[in-house]
Structure formats: structure tokens, C-alpha cells
């Protein structure tokens, strides 16, 4: 088992219900496939530096989880099919730092 | 005594000036003093180099999105390697 971080960039024109369901969908997917979600962060609507598929903004969701290669394969498969996701990135870490949050402004505004 | 010390100091100054002027005589001769800034990232309790820490990464990227060389920013070899990797990750997500 190793530690991973996964970030998803979703389209900006989604309703709040869809975002919630999207967030829960991958949370359950990780938990069901030999994995364990440690933390979920919502970075909120952020401006993209360059346009991606004609979109100027994106909704960022960030997962910190523990898992193995089966979980990673499953996530990759599901994300590639998903049409609401613009970009994604998974990074392996030896240690996760849960304390630091670099995108804290969104939650304060709410 | 005081007078002697002042004399010594004056002598020292004089000698230093001489050595400097000599070192400047040839273009290819390197001076005794080197201009070396210390790496700003490998200080104790320094900033975290990570693809989420965009405010840090923005300092090492030009307006056009090019990565600045370590000659300009005086970042150490290991940290520069890490910086480039993290910047490229941030570019994938559209953050930089």
C-alpha cells in the first residue's frame, strides 16, 4: 500500500448536485477497490491559465488516499470515460502532509 | 600604540587596493572573491516545493511560462530538478 494524491478538474457549467455526486462517486470508488480515502479537499472554481477544451474555468477536487495498483487502474479507467472531467493528475508520495492547505481561500469565502 | 595601529591599517588598505588592481589586469584571471548567492530553497525550514504551492512556483517562471534557469535564480542543482518537475505537473492541471 502506498500514498497517493489525485486531483480532478471538472467542467465549470455543472450544477451543484452533479458536483456532489461526482465527488461522492470517486470517494466510493476508491473505498470499494482496496483503498482508503484520507482526506478530500475542494479548491473551488479557479481560473485556468490557458483554455482547455474552450473552458476558461474549472472546478478542482483533490483526494488524498491510500491504495494499490488496482485502485489506480480503476480510477484511470473511470476518469477516461467521464465526459465531465477536463484534466486529472495522480502523484505518488512517501508521506502525506494533511496539515498544509494551499487553496484555503475558497472555503473562507463561503 | 594607536598611531601604530592606524599605520598598520593604512598599510593593509594599500596592499588590498594593489592586489585588486593587479587581478583586474588580465581578463581571463578569476578574482579571489566569488559572487555566490546561497540557494533560497534549501534553507532550514524553507518553503515546500510542491505543485500545489503556486505562489512559490510563480517566482521561478517567466510571464510566458518558461522556467527560469538556476544561473539567474541561484537555486541548487537538486532543488532545480525538483522545481522543474513540480512546475510541469502544475501546467498539466492548468494552474500555471
Shortest CA gap B72–chain A (Å): 24
Residue A54: closest CA among B15, B94, B88, B87: B94
Percent of chain A whose pLDDT exceeds 90: 58
B10 touches A at CB < 8 Å = no
Please say whether the beta carbons of A57 and A9 come within 8 A: no
A54 touches B at CB < 8 Å = no
A58 touches B at CB < 8 Å = yes
What is the pLDDT, as a whole number, of residue B80? Answer: 94
If you search the block for the grid coordinates 477536487, which residue do you land on? A61
Those residues whose C-beta lies under 8 Å from the C-beta of residue A18, and which sit 6 or more positions away, are A84
**pLDDT, tens digit, 9 for 90 and up, residues A8-37:** 999 999 888 999 999 999 999 999 998 899
ipTM: 0.84
What is the pLDDT, as a whole number, of residue B11? Answer: 57
Shortest CA gap B96–chain A (Å): 6
Contact residues, chain A, for B50 at CB < 8 Å: 102
Shortest CA gap B56–chain A (Å): 11
Average pLDDT value for residue range A78-90? 92
Amino acid at each position: 500500500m502506498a500514498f497517493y494524491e489525485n486531483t480532478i478538474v471538472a467542467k465549470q457549467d455543472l450544477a451543484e448536485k452533479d458536483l456532489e455526486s461526482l465527488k461522492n462517486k470517486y470517494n466510493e470508488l476508491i473505498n470499494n477497490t482496496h483503498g482508503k480515502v484520507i482526506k478530500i479537499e475542494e479548491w473551488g472554481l479557479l481560473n485556468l491559465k490557458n483554455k482547455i477544451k474552450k473552458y476558461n474555468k474549472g472546478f478542482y477536487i483533490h483526494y488524498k488516499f491510500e491504495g494499490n495498483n488496482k485502485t489506480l487502474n480503476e480510477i484511470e479507467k473511470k476518469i477516461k470515460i467521464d465526459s465531465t472531467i477536463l484534466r486529472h493528475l495522480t502523484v505518488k508520495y512517501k508521506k502525506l502532509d494533511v496539515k498544509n492547505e494551499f487553496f484555503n481561500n475558497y472555503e473562507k469565502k463561503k | 600604540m594607536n598611531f601604530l595601529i592606524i599605520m598598520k591599517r593604512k598599510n593593509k588598505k594599500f596592499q588590498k587596493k594593489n592586489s585588486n588592481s593587479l587581478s583586474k589586469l588580465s581578463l581571463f584571471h578569476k578574482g579571489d572573491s566569488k559572487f555566490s548567492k546561497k540557494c533560497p530553497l534549501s534553507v532550514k525550514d524553507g518553503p515546500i516545493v510542491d505543485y500545489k504551492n503556486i505562489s512559490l512556483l510563480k517566482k521561478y517562471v517567466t510571464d510566458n511560462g518558461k522556467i527560469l534557469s538556476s544561473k539567474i535564480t541561484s537555486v541548487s542543482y537538486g532543488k532545480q530538478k525538483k522545481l522543474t518537475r513540480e512546475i510541469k505537473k502544475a501546467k498539466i492541471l492548468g494552474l500555471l
